[in-house]
Structure 1
Amino acid sequence: MVLLFPFIKTIDVDHYNVFFKTLIYVIHVLYCFLVNTVFAFINNFTPRKCVPKIKNALLLKSATDCASLIRKGELTSFDLVSAYIERQKEVHPLINAVAYDNYEYALRKAAKIDNYLAQLDRHSSEFENLSTTKPFLGIPFTVKSSICVKNCKAIAGIVCRMNLEPCTQEHDGITNLKEAGAIPLSFTNVPTMCLWVESHNYVSGRTSNPYDIRRTCGGSSGGEGSVIGAGGSLFGIGSDLGGSIRIPASLCGVFGFKCSPNALPDNFHIPDGGKDLRHMAHLGPLARYATDLKEVTKFYCNDEQRKNLRLDEPTNMQELKYFYIDDISYLDAEPIANECRAVVHDVANELSKTNVTTQVKIDEFKYSCDFWFAQYQKAVDSKFDGLNGYLNNFDPNEALSVPYEMVKNILGFKTDFDLGALSLSFDIKHVKSFNEKYLNLYLEKFEAFRTKLIKMLSNDGVLILPAWPTAAPFHRELLFNRANLSYTAVFNALGFPVISCPIALNKNGLPLNVQIVAVPNNDKILFDVAIEIEKIFGGWKEAI
């Protein structure tokens, strides 16, 4: 839509006659088909390659199982950490998911944990309470390289941050996981300033999909999705402003959780949009296993958030009502692939065996992308230039011209900034910036849309829809089909909790996920639904 009709707004198309509506849609479909065909043709000359199969059976155990084995003395943390270091080193030349490692610290910490457990009296209350006080004792995990961890750098794919001193402050969620016994193992790749849906920057390079290295892992938490999908991590922490947890989770076949506003810690992230973006920007976990996703979330948050999430309360699964949408494609998203539509129906059909399941059509989803831009503009407005300040460390003598850097990038001149991040920055500031009339129109429609969804789902409803309109695209393809954000970004605008769940691999060995959605502050039911879906469809699957 942005490339084809940059100044046509979806809301205006409603007033066109049938001929022009049809013409615009046909051009849109043909354009997407052309892009897909060209990229498929170009990449056809390079054979598909995926990460090697996991040889160490230890890497196939869940985090909760490994933690239990460590507490029992049947597994050492040192052996587990060593196994994950070995796996990360094995897959790194293929996927380039780790921006920089923390291996020496992790091994020292693991050895200390093993020594502590060896000396701990197994009849003491301290030992008996370990499963609740330190449930992830000795378990390694990964962290998105834009999240602040004490004594480590938060580079966020920005060249001028490479020489900054390590962080002196730490994201609360990381502190909570450390207190639960978990060990930060490595820091994963992101796009420049986390501002794109592919993970490429001029600090660490490009991250690839573990199921086909010709394809993208998504972004901006792309390194997390890639390394977890490759079996190089059990779980990790990412961030999500428009789908940045769920897109990599979906393209790499793992679970990813975007929470309700204020449900999880959200401080010390680069960039920081401030309190004005708190209702849209969230940090949270990705995991290979649904049970781990729930347990990690429980100990990632603080005591008050844990109480509000109510994750230990049972969910009456028989009383849940399911609604599903198999397509929200319009001018702001690629036409949905049949296989992505099919997995939504597969999930709905399985759940309909025990629950009421209803297919719905909600016309307002066609405005999804514009709803996000409107909410973003309302929250940030002129302050977006402040976010761009991260690209030059807020140096007033190094003013950044986004259009100039875009031209340099396109013409092949040296630049420190990825074209995807620059183009999205340009879109937000110029192409998708609404005047007061359009902003108010979208905000009015948005409030009616939000009210409609809350009424439909209530406290016992779950919405199922595609996680993405296609399987993982080829590298750089999203520069031309960027508006696929429609499937994810709308839920950041709405403030609805979402989990992306892996369902199957397609005929090309690529993951297909669905999203499950609930009303705000009803996050808890999604974890139990995700666990049920994992039982039915098998969850994460190794690359083949």
Structure 2
Amino acid sequence: MALTRFERFVVWVLRGAGGMLFAVFQLLAPRRGSERSARRLPPITNPLLRVPAMQLARMIRRREVTSVEVVQAYIDRIQEINPLINAMVKDRFPSALQEAAQVDKLIEEETGGEDVLEDRLPLLGVPFTVKEAFTLQGMPNSTGLVTRRGVISATDAPPVALLKRAGAIPLGVTNCSELCMWLESHNHLYGITNNPYDLERIPGGSSGGEGSILGGAGSVIGVGSDVGGSIRIPAFFNGVFGHKPTSGVVSNVGQFPPATGQQPGFLCTGPMCRYAQDLVPMLRVMGGHQTDRLSLLSEVDLKSLRFFSVAHDGGSLLVSPVDRQLVLAQRRVVERLEADLGVEVQQLKLPQLKYSFQIWSAMMGAPGKDGKQPTSFAELMADHGTKVWPLWEMAKWTVGLSKHTMAAIGLALVEMFQRSHPTEFIIQQKESLQRDLEELLGTDGVLLYPSHPQLAPKHHHPLFTPFNFSYTGVFNILGLPVTQCPLGLSTEGLPLGLQLVVGKQQDRLSLATAVYLEKAFGGWREPGTTTIEAT
């Protein structure tokens, strides 16, 4: 199928004109938090930073370590690395230490024993971080929009509240892309966030601050959201785990901007963490009783599962080819599964994946059941204020006067030419892919698929490859749960990884496979050993 006029226009704007804009951007982009003089992140010196969250909780309950010691260890690490990565944009360190002291007092006074505490407060005393797009009481909730600079949250988003109710202690909020709709966590309020494995590269978006702080060992667990890959892409680029749950399991309330049109069915809130064993406990807490239908505590026999591997999307003209190192990494996973489990991994091609971007874009812009169109991106940029004119904002941006990033302006500009209803062809491709995958995966299937076609790109380079998120975005539209797993490092010292896609409500299958892959391939790797060229 040839590209539509709209798609050709988008390619021209974001690739052809991108060269000129990128050159200007290099001159105008704020450099806050981007200290390029450092060659590497400082190494981890406190062993507490290498302990999974659930193990930390157990150590705290058993009085092997205090919550104050754990929280202080993470505060020290954040203060050490945040000037380099600019991931945390607002902290609550004094309050976190006070809450940790209260936890230690509670444990001293507890007479019911460790089991009672574990059942009632499974994350007692464990620190965590939160994407700034979520409300966290007393913290900003701007989502990188300059006009929301003064917005302070009065309440907690439900998933955040549930984590706090389970005993976890929030350390602060982390950076995201402007209005959560871009691959790079950059905005004119907080600046640009760097990848801990290479400060010249992006941590992904929109949960890029979470990915960066986790990858740099400044946090052990965190809260992210995902409408097109915003959990999985940062998890991939920063070498950590991330899970997009079955749609509707974890509440999306308490986020800005709110989803409209059909988008509430595509947006998912989920856990991000450095250690695979923390995924299930986090999801159980964040989803509450909604996770009962997932049977997360049921034992999974990996040898009884059916595994499939799809190497690429079939060659979309809009998307980059899959990097050879990622192809080889996925092949190594196939070989390891077959050798260790005695299964046969079936190699597949799904031709509908070639239209992943078109499917995602069309459905994201489609009206809801009430017939109302989703809120336009230009309206979100205005946030009930002065109307934003994309062409005028682009002109202002070239002379450094716009409050918006080039990515946000470009998206608003492209939106002006987008169809309000998906074409019949794209609807057919979406429905066909949905049927094929649901039939293929059933209740015992796991699909291996690249998380992204490239390793973490350098800053601003996604302006040239804006459709590469399609590798993750298509699964939001299909409503399928997906787990991103790290697979070691590339020859450049950048994280490798892949997605594990399973049937609806079969989250436990991908989560169990993630635990296996962590043992097989080492999981998260410390980034401090990777040399970074100074400029």
The two structures have a TM-score, normalised by structure 2, of: 0.90
Q: Which residue of 2 aligns with 1:457?
A: 441
The answer for the alignment partner of 1:14 in structure 2 is none
Tell me: CA distance 1:379–1:249, structure 2 relative to 1, closer, same or farther (3 Å): farther
Equivalent in the alignment of 2:178: 192
Deviation at 1:259, TM superposition (A): 1.1
Within a 5 Å distance, the mapping from 1:444-523 to structure 2 comes to 444-523=428-507
CA distance in 2, matches of 1:204, 1:170: 21
- Counterpart in 2 of 1:7? 5
Determine if contact 2:236/2:451 at 8 Å carries over to the other structure.
yes
Deviation digits for residues 182-220 of structure 1 (CA, Å, limit 9, x no counterpart): 011110001111121100011110000000000000100
**Structure 1 match to 2:192:** 206
**Aligned mates of 2:262, 2:409 — CA distance in 1:** 22
User: Are residues 1:170 and 2:160 paired?
Assistant: no
Q: Tell me the residue number matched to 2:31.
A: none
8 Å CA contact 1:239, 1:245 repeated in 2: yes
The alpha-carbon deviation at position 387 of structure 1 amounts to 5.1
Specify the alignment match of 1:104 in structure 2: 94
Q: CA deviation at 1:528?
A: 0.3
Instruction: Calculate percent identity across the aligned residue pairs.
Output: 33
Where does 1:238-249 land on structure 2 (aligned, <5 Å)? 238-249=224-235
Residue 130 in structure 1 maps to residue 117 in structure 2: yes
Are residue 371 (structure 1) and residue 392 (structure 2) matched?
no
Q: Aligned residue for 1:263?
A: 249
Letter in 1 for 2:249: A
1:388–1:105: structure 2 CA closer, same or farther, 3 Å change rule?
farther
Secondary structure, aligned partner of 1:446: helix
* Shift, 1:316, TM fit: 2.2
CA contact (8 A) 1:189 1:221 kept: yes
Aligned residues: 504
Aligned-residue offset at 1:363: 1.1
Establish whether residue 420 from structure 1 lines up as the match of residue 418 from structure 2.
Answer: no
Q: Following superposition of structure 1 onto structure 2, how do residues 36-115 of structure 1 map, counting pairs within 5 Å? A: 49-115=39-105
**Aligned counterpart in structure 2 of residue 291 of structure 1, from 277, 299, 304:** 277
Counterpart of 2:344?
356
Distance in 1 (alpha carbons) for counterparts of 2:40 and 2:5? 40
| Runs of 5+ consecutive residues of structure 2 not aligned to the other structure | 28-35, 530-535
Say whether the 8 Å CA contact 1:323–1:464 is kept in structure 2: yes
Question: What residue identity is the alignment partner of 1:223?
Answer: G
- 1:318 is aligned to 2:294: no
Alpha-carbon contact 1:332-1:366 (below 8 Å) kept: no
Q: What code does the residue aligned with 2:303 have?
A: Q
AA paired with 2:80? E
Offset of residue 356 of structure 1 = 2.3
Partners of 2:5 and 2:192 in 1: CA distance: 31
1:331 to 287, 299, 317: 317
Q: 1:447 to 1:191 in 2, by over 3 A?
A: same
- Cα distance in 1 for partners of 2:261, 2:154 equals 21
For 1:215, what is the secondary structure of its paired residue?
Answer: coil
How far apart are residue 49 of structure 1 and its match? 3.2
**RMSD value over aligned CA atoms?**
2.4
Conservation of the 8 A alpha-carbon contact between 2:310 and 2:448: yes
CA distance in 2, matches of 1:391, 1:434: 20
Give the aligned partner of residue 230 of structure 1: 216
Change (3 A) 1:86 1:47: closer
Gaps of 5+ in 1: 11-23
- Contact 2:262–2:364, Cα closer than 8 Å, also in 1: no
Are the structure 2 counterparts of residues 479 and 425 from structure 1 closer, same or farther at C-alpha, using a change threshold of 3 Å?
Answer: same
CA contact (8 A) 1:216 1:474 kept: yes
Q: Which moved more, 1:245-254 or 1:325-334?
A: 325-334
Whole-angstrom CA distance in 1 between matches of 2:358 and 2:38: 36
| SS, match of residue 508 in structure 1 | coil
Tell me the amino acid that sits aligned with residue 357 of structure 1: V
Corresponding position of 1:15: none
Return the offset for 1:67.
0.5
